[in-house]
Amino acid sequence: MTSRGNDAVTKARDLIARTLTDYKSADISSIGVEPPDDGWALAPDALRFFLRFVEQSHPRHVVEFGSGLSTMVIATAISQSNLSTKFSSLDHDPEFTAITRERLAENSLLRSVSLQCAPLVAREFYGKVLPAYHLKTTLLASKRPADVVLIDGPPDSLGGREGVLHQVFDFARAGTVVLLDDSSRPGELAALHSWQEQYADTIQVIQLQGFAKGLAAIIIQDLPTYNRPHTWPRVDPSHITDAGLREVVVELSQLSPRDGRMVVVDNGDPLVLAASGREGWEFLQRDGIFSGNPIDSEEAIKALEELIAQKAQYLVFLKNTLWWLDYYAQFAEYLSRTFETIKQGNDYVIFDLGKR
């Protein structure tokens, strides 16, 4: 972990400790009548902690899984305190999403939150098939990593919450604080145990004491290996026989500093990354292994935004992957609209991901 990552994790621990000392005085009157401690919604004590943590930390981006009372409380705080916080709220139920949207509109709070209905789908995480939110990253309130995440869904009856933390890593950073509601229930305890086994020192789990239905804070201490850039054994560029690939390597060496991170659409052959002496990612890559082409443009955009959050600076297409720019039309339109094309030859295209 970098020194900046260490600082962020230390700050997160301090914020949790500070919030525990005075969260009981947080004002949640914006929701009207407080919910009971044993209801389906967040208990009042968890709502107060969530609110006070946001007030103390001034996050740039808050994400919640499971809309409702918490959406109203945080949106009200952002609006009334004139915070610059971007707030993304997701729920799997279209009817419940509509009710939350209506309540936000009635209180002139829709501008304070990006509300998204994200249906549940089955996804495999580390050999287990789990429910996950089919969210659109382009509809999140911010492209920045989340500073605070609340997990209050999906319900046990739809498979529980184990899959959600795996998703959180897609837009987390070192120091991100994840709050898990209902953490004393068997399903949530099992999820916490599974996360600790899977992520080990990557996360720190703190069971906060004294909450009616349980509340756990998970501090992201580092990102899993699948999100980290890789460095390949150095290959002498003069050994490359293909003139087009040699040209790409020369351009990358001239364009970027030694610590510049590359994303190369290379069809599973990391030769360009190895020859240019830059760390980076094969696109698409999971768990350090090339995982093939995206299903659609949405998956490609989401995966690229994840890597940009990890400081990826350049995106490179080679001659055997230029077809992407025709086949994935929405992805190509997103690239041309969002980033500068800084070099283009017959056999390659290079986008500058730092120039939006």
Query: What does each C-alpha distance from 93 to 29, 133, 248, 338 come to in angstroms?
Result: 25, 11, 47, 32
CB contact at 8 A, 16 and 177: yes
Confidence of residue 220 (pLDDT cuts 50, 70, 90): very high
* Domains identified in the chain and CATH numbers: 3-223 (3.40.50.150), 226-352 (no CATH)
The more confidently predicted of residues 25 and 229 is: 25
Whole-angstrom Cα distance, residue 250 to residue 316?
A: 13
pTM for this predicted structure: 0.68
Mean pLDDT, range 140-153, rounded to an integer: 93
Q: Which has the minimum average pLDDT: 34-38, 199-203, 221-225, 320-324? A: 34-38
Give 183-199 pLDDT, tens digit per residue.
Answer: 999 999 999 999 998 88
Amino acid 56 reads: Q
Give 79-121 pLDDT, tens digit per residue.
Answer: 988 889 999 999 999 999 999 999 999 999 998 899 999 999 9
DSSP code per residue over 30-43? GGSSPPPTTSSSPP
User: What mean pLDDT value characterizes the chain?
Assistant: 89
Q: What are the structure tokens assigned to 176, written together?
A: 């991100």
CB contact at 8 A, 83 and 111: no
Residues 6+ apart with CB under 8 A from 332: 297, 324, 325, 326
> Residue for token digits 């190509």?
332
Per-residue model confidence (pLDDT) at position 314: 93
Confidence of residue 125 (pLDDT cuts 50, 70, 90): confident
Q: Determine what percent of the chain is predicted with pLDDT higher than 70.
A: 95
DSSP code per residue over 141-175? S-SSPPSEEEE--S-GGGT-SHHHHHHHGGG--TT
Q: Assign 285 to helix, strand or coil.
A: strand
Q: Determine what percent of the chain is predicted with pLDDT higher than 90.
A: 59
69-80 vs 94-106: helix axis angle to the nearest 10? 30
Whole-angstrom Cα distance, residue 177 to residue 220?
A: 6
Confidence of residue 287 (pLDDT cuts 50, 70, 90): low
> Residue for token digits 């009200």?
76
Residue 288 pLDDT > 90: no
Confidence of residue 230 (pLDDT cuts 50, 70, 90): confident
Residues 6+ apart with CB under 8 A from 180: 151, 161, 188, 191, 192, 215, 216, 217, 218
